[in-house]
Amino acid sequence: MSATANLPLDELRFWETSVGKKAVMAVTGVLLFGFVIAHLLGNLQIFESPEKINHYAETLRSVPVLLWGARITLLISVCLHIWASFALWRLQRAARPIPYVKKSNTHSTYASRTMMWSGPIVLAFVIYHLLHFTFGVVHPGGPFDKHNVYNNVVYGFQFWPVSLFYIVAMIMLCYHLYHGLWSMFQTLGFSHPVYTPWLQRLAKVAAILIAAGNISIPVAVLAGFIKPV
């Protein structure tokens, strides 16, 4: 090794190392988490009144700079998050070409070992969700009206297979965040014998609340609490 304290800059760069890619995942994961929270809070207004949520949707559209700013940030985040996850997944596959005949995983959570299942299922969901409620091109169960978000949601969820898919996807999101929400602290360099166990508990609670909040909407529609107007 050279005797200088500085390394040549043409070494593996930040995003070319596994730690760098994980940092990219953690930072984009935080942004996506922020979106999921904001999105949930917006959605829950459906329980107040049809006017409330329709007005909320109008408000979002009335500030195109913010709306498009958020959309572009999210799109970039999703792309980076997925790019890093696939690059790392390929690295993992290459790192153990011969599998064990027997392997027991005893000290890890199911959620942590299935990030590469829960993640892509959530992605599939996000794509369907956009086609379903944003573009309205795959909207079985009733008419789609760009200006009546409330009815779109109610008609959309009255078709039970769609509701079921949403519920399953939210359970996957729950698993993903169950691990991801504390993992990102570790990835970015924060670990503490007292606070990390609390972060893990908080991650569980947050993941379950997010999933439960989102699932409550299709369930309320199917149960007839929320009806079209």
Partner 1 sequence: MKLTLHVWRQKNAQDRGRMFRYEVPGVNEHMSFLEMLDVLNERLIEKGEDPIAFDHDCREGICGMCGMMINGKAHGGFKGTTVCQLHMRHFKDGDELYLEPWRAAAFPVIKDLAVNRSSFDRIIAAGGFISVPTGSAPDGNAIPVRKLDADLAMDAAACIGCGACVAACPNSAAALFVGAKISHLAHLPQGQPERDRRALAMIRQMNREGFANCSNIGECEAACPKEIKLEVIAQSNADYIKAAFTERPETAIGGAG
Site for ligand HEM, rule CB under 6 A: 22, 25-26, 29, 32-33, 36, 81-82, 85, 88, 115-116, 119-120, 122-123, 176, 180-181, 183-184, 187
State yes or no: residue 193 binds partner 1 (CB under 8 A): yes
* Segment lying near partner 1 (by CB under 8 A), choices 106-114, 127-135, 167-175, 214-222: 106-114
Shortest reach from residue 184's CB to ligand HEM, in Å: 4
**Separation CA 172–CA 115 (nearest Å):** 9
Question: CA 54 → CA 57, 166, 214, 217, 224, distances in Å?
Answer: 5, 21, 18, 15, 20
**Separation CA 43–CA 39 (nearest Å):** 6
Among 46, 115, 153, 217, binds partner 1 (CB under 8 A): 115
* List of residues 6+ apart from 117 with CB closer than 8 A: 172
State yes or no: residue 14 binds partner 1 (CB under 8 A): yes
SS (H, E, C) 157-170: HHCHHHHHHHHHHH
State yes or no: residue 194 binds partner 1 (CB under 8 A): no
Select the binding partner of residue 141 from ligand HEM, partner 1, none (C-beta < 5 to 8 A, by kind): none
**Are 217 and 40 in contact, with CB atoms under 8 Å apart?**
no
Backbone CA torsion sign across 193, 186, 29, 115: negative
The contact set with partner 1 (CB under 8 A) reads 1, 4-7, 9, 11-14, 16-23, 88, 91-92, 94-109, 112-113, 115, 179, 182-183, 185-193, 196
